[in-house]
Chains A and B, each alone.
Chain A
Amino acid sequence: MATTKPAPAAKSETPADPTTLGADVGLTKDDLLEMYRLMAVARAVDERMWILNRADKIPFVISGQGHEGAQVGLAYALKKGHDWMVPYYRSVASLITFGMSPREIMLAQFARGVDPSSGGRQMPGHYGIIERNILSVSSPVATQLLHATGIAWASKLKKTDVVTITYIGEGSSNQGDFHEGLNFAGVHNLPVIYVVENNGYAISVPMALQSAVADIAIRGAGYNMPGVIIDGIDVLACYRAGREAIDRARRGEGPTLIEAKVTRLTAHSSDDQQTKYRTAEDLESGKDRDPLPVFRDQLRAAGMLDDETEANMVAEARKVVEDATDWAEAQADPDPATAQRHVYADLPPARMDDPLWTGVRFIGDGGPWGVLRDSGGEG
């Protein structure tokens, strides 16, 4: 079993000759700078969400600050538009790596009518874009593990080389769905990667009260799949683990469970006050595990990131976020006249002036069933 402990020191992956950073895993300088850019954009988008929330422009935020190193590293080797991503609410950087644009992410924050994730129907954080092979997120945790398993099963039956990756928190890995999904994938040797982003807390409940074992990865053994532990601030180690799992899956060698040890730099969500259950030291030490400055220092030490490149990147990230925010905010709210669409494929929407919730239907008009009959639907 390929269970490995996280490297104790953040920079343990830095090779002796820093200018070859990434070479051992086949990454070029351009790749590394692109990965850093993705992390920086994700962070900038994420920070903007919280600013918008504090400014009362969006009622709710849930996001992934602190998880970006693992998310970018693990997703970087996926084939966009070919593989499948089944994300969760913290997947901002995973999604940006997989091609979702900051504008698309911001549309979900503002819940506008043209929001490709849900047309403004879902809370922010519930992304999903069919054209990008990103499955729609729901709120009940862990359900998506089974969907990812099913997508992978379909790939196997259809004999494609499509790989599916899905993500979940460590607390959520205690739901039955998690175990049921891994078991099925193990039995059928499916091309799926389960990523547990372990940030130590499920809202307020610490890992020690969630799990009798310190590492979720060892659960892979129970389902006959490798359980790999990676340190989420070691972006290159995350990339390596992701690529190995993706390659294995693509070769038909089966599923992998990957546990990324990350830190949650924000409260659980904008509704949470984490100072109530986390000590000052705990919060402070989390900051040392921010993957952005760690990766930045690695790149600088390798001579790959000079002042000018960095300044350009920061400026670009800011511009992207400004554009995404302003543009998304300017889009219209959904039209309530569309609210009954997409309940079924084949039934026409009930007449908008019909049921009593509008307060205008009145007695004797036959109710919703009359409407369906009138429009040729089932009566």
Chain B
Amino acid sequence: MAVMTFIESVRTTLAQEMRRDDSIVVLGEDVGKKGGVFLATDGLYDEFGGDRVLDTPLSESMIVGVSIGAAVAGLRPVPEIQFADFIFPAFNQILSEAARMRFRSNGAFTCPITLRAPYGGGVHGALYHSQSVEAFFAHIPGLKVVIPSTPYDARGLLRTSIRDNDPVLFFEHKKMYRSVRGDVPDDDYTIPIGQAKVTREGTDVTLIAYGLMAQYSLEAAELLASDGVSAEVVDVRTLRPLDGETLLASVRKTGKAVVVYEDNRFGGYGAEIAAIVAEEAFESLDGPIVRVTGPDVPGVPYNHVLEDWFMPNPERIAEAARRLAAY
């Protein structure tokens, strides 16, 4: 068992998987000699060489499209998109090709790629280095979408994603890379895709979140505890497929749900969670479903005053939960 940061967990897991399976290749912008702009692939180039850890030309559509072809031909590509914000030149490849390959070929072709990308705000990244893009991809059948919130989950879920036979988008909140540490066992554990996790038990209200917001929800639960409100926290972990049962069980118990996401409010991923709760747990609800989200502006602004205005934080989550608990 080792204590490590979130990014160390990602990096060491990539290395372990590449040692285990030599069909795994890592490709992307600056992933080689530089080790990635966040150093998530640091050391891989030295260990595995330039063929398996490839610095690509600067074009995301190529990165994903070539990965799809390589995957069809038997490799297991783990492409990196330098920032989730720059995934959009590859959107067509992901949506029209990777997601549909299996379905359109009646099961003949598969596309096992694990597309990693750092996402999220709170790091002075402004409009184009802060976005939460998960809703675009979770919307698409054929894709799996994973967002871990701890070093432990990052390892277990990255392993599963790489070994999975479908395309997986694996989003890592860049603010957590170095700020979140945790225990990571040495054994070859995996975490199934499609399992949410109750990360704190409580009785009055359920906080449902993923990524950095799952961490913030735990902090909010701590704040709430000092006010005498007992919050349960559900970390969604995998957005698609979604483990509805775990979050519904929690809401049925507490009767109150706060859904937290950093993305713009309108049509964000949490809206789907709210819909499922409304459809499936209506009888148990003891108050309206409440969302704590980023505002509906087209990007996270840069200036720290504006960025703070944008970002959901533990206090805002706690405030919403407090009011809901009192409803």
Contacts and interface: CB of A to CB of B under 8 A. Distances in A.
Contacts of B140: none
Interface string B10-53: 00000000000000000001101111010000000000000000
A357 to B, nearest CB: 5
B121 interface: no
Given A140-B85, A363-B324, A339 B129 contact: no
A59 B58 contact: no
Contact of B37 (A209, A271, A339, A360): A271
A171 B293 contact: no
Interface centre among B88, B125, B301, B304 (most CB of A within 10 A): B301
Contact of A139 (B34, B85, B292, B293): B85
Interface string A334-345: 111001100100
A298 to B, nearest CB: 34
Given A176-B59, A203-B29, A356-B290, A340 B302 contact: no
B125 A123 contact: yes
A14 B108 CA distance: 67
B124 A59 contact: yes
Contact of B302 (A111, A113, A172, A209): A111
Interface of B: 29-30, 32-35, 37, 55-59, 61-62, 85-86, 88-89, 124-129, 265, 287-288, 290-299, 301-306, 308-310, 312, 315-316, 319-320, 323-324, 327
A204 interface: yes
9 contacts: A121-B127, A123-B128, A138-B128, A276-B33, A339-B309, A355-B295, A356-B290, A356-B316, A364-B288
Given A123-B125, A138-B127, A339-B297, A171 B58 contact: yes
B124 A60 contact: yes
Given A121-B126, A174-B57, A363 B288 contact: yes
Given A60-B124, A123-B302, A203-B34, A363 B323 contact: yes
A126 B88 CA distance: 19
Given A343-B297, A363-B290, A121 B302 contact: yes
Contacts of B287: 363
A375 interface: no
Interface of A: 59-60, 111-113, 118, 120-123, 126, 138-141, 171-172, 174-177, 202-205, 209-211, 271-272, 276-277, 333-336, 339-340, 343, 350, 355-360, 362-364, 368
| Closest 5 A/B residue pairs (Cβ) | A139-B128, A359-B319, A120-B303, A204-B34, A359-B316
B127 A357 contact: no
B11 to A, nearest CB: 15
Contact of A336 (B299, B306, B315, B327): B306
A210 B295 contact: no
A336 B306 CA distance: 6
Contacts of B327: 363
A203 B30 contact: yes
A139 B58 contact: no
A209 B306 contact: no
B323 A362 contact: yes
Given A138-B127, A211-B57, A357-B316, A175 B89 contact: yes
A362 B34 CA distance: 48
B57 A209 contact: yes
A112 B295 CA distance: 21
Given A123-B125, A205-B29, A140 B89 contact: yes
Contacts of A210: 57-58
Interface centre among A271, A277, A360 (most CB of B within 10 A): A277
B55 A205 contact: yes
Contact of A140 (B55, B128, B305): B128
B313 to A, nearest CB: 9
A357 B59 contact: no
Given A122-B126, A209-B57, A357-B316, A343 B291 contact: no
Contacts of A118: 302
A177 B60 CA distance: 12
A326 to B, nearest CB: 19
Contacts of B319: 359-360
Given A59-B124, A356-B290, A333 B303 contact: yes
Contacts of A339: 295, 297, 301, 306, 309-310
Contact of A276 (B34, B58, B128, B297): B34
Contacts of B59: 174-176
A140 B308 CA distance: 24
Contacts of B295: 339-340, 350, 355, 357
A357 B293 contact: yes
Contacts of B306: 120-121, 334, 336, 339
B139 to A, nearest CB: 21
Given A121-B126, A340-B295, 12 more contacts: A140-B85, A140-B86, A176-B89, A204-B30, A276-B34, A340-B296, A355-B293, A357-B265, A357-B292, A357-B295, A359-B292, A363-B290
B117 to A, nearest CB: 14
A34 B296 CA distance: 46
A96 B150 CA distance: 46
Contacts of B323: 362-363
